[in-house]
Structure 1
Amino acid sequence: MTPRTLFPALARAEVVTWSLLLVGMFLKYVSQTTDLGVRVFGLVHGVVFLAYLLVTLVVWVDQRWPWRLALAALAAGIPPFATLWVERHVERTGRLAPAWRLRPGGARPGHALERLLARALARPAAAAVVGGALVLAATAVLLVVGPPGGPAGA
């Protein structure tokens, strides 16, 4: 995958999981029929949200996004559907290259984060496994900590 395919895929997945979570919230809080949607889609959304944040950090470093754009892209994962705006903006402004800048044979890394990313891009399968493990570990920690606002019914 490239920045031009990976970032939009996660931005759109974030929108889909937000939609599913909102449906779950409607069923739980408005129709009061079931909380299953919140439990299932909340977890799915959380995992995709963390993956979106990780991919945004990777693309930020590789594509040398300005701080303001990177922070806006990270913050866009919080309100529903905001990642669509960021995805369209970065595509329209040419901020997503068709290839990784730090790929083997690409640009020379300039600092520690770029060196780390260049090593990861040299071994994409291993990097995907490590990235997935990071997302799952963060998910596990957050499940232990509990939902935002404390336990249900508190």
Structure 2
Amino acid sequence: MSPSALYRTVARAEAITWTLLIIAMVLKYAVKVGDWPVSIAGFVHGFVFLTYIATSVLVGMNQRWSKRLILGAAATSVIPYLTVPFDRWLERRGKLVGSWRTQASEHPADQRWTDSTMRWLVARPVLSSIALFVLIVAVFSTMLVMGPPGGRS
């Protein structure tokens, strides 16, 4: 899967889980079916939210985005549905063109430890997927222990 395809897939998944969360909130507050829809949709959305942030960082590093652009990409996940138009914006500006960089080039950035680590990760997609999954689960589990925004009722 290319960086563009991965980014687009996760960006759309993030937008879909926003929809699920919004529907769940309508069911909870307007239809009064209880907390369970928000618990389920919130769990799924939270996991995809963290996955989108990790994907933004990985793809951004691979594509040599500026730190500001990587931060902006990650921030789009906070506003419902913004990940999809941002993906289109990146596409129009050629920010998603190219394949995964697994070999160092003459580019000065390729000499940094962050870029060599990124190349190592993308050269081992199965291992990297497992490692990123474990990292996301660890962050997600920590957030679940801390509780929801605004505290527990």
User: If the TM-score is normalised by the length of the shorter chain, which range does it land in?
Assistant: over 0.9
Q: Which residue pairs with 1:52 in the alignment?
A: 52
RMSD (Å) for aligned C-alpha atoms: 1.3
Moved more, 61-70 or 77-86: 61-70
Moved more, 60-69 or 24-33: 60-69
Q: What SS does the corresponding residue of 1:31 show, helix, strand or coil?
A: coil
Q: Which residue pairs with 1:144 in the alignment?
A: 145
Distance 1:62 1:34, change over 3 A: same
Q: Which residue pairs with 1:118 in the alignment?
A: 119
Q: Which residue pairs with 1:107 in the alignment?
A: 105
Q: Which residue pairs with 1:63 in the alignment?
A: 63
Q: Which residue pairs with 1:21 in the alignment?
A: 21
* TM-score in terms of structure 2 length: 0.93
Deviations 1:67-97 (A, max 9, x none): 3322221110001101011111111111002
* TM-score in terms of structure 1 length: 0.92
Q: Which residue pairs with 1:89 in the alignment?
A: 89
Distance 1:11 1:30 in 2: 28
1:82 maps to a residue whose letter is: L
Q: What SS does the corresponding residue of 1:64 show, helix, strand or coil?
A: coil
Unaligned runs of 5+ in 2: none
Give aligned-pair identity as a percent. Answer: 36
Unaligned runs of 5+ in 1: none
Structure 1 stretches of 4+ moved >3 Å? 105-108
Deviations 1:17-49 (A, max 9, x none): 000000000011122123221000100000000
Q: What SS does the corresponding residue of 1:46 show, helix, strand or coil?
A: helix
Distance 1:11 1:90 in 2: 12
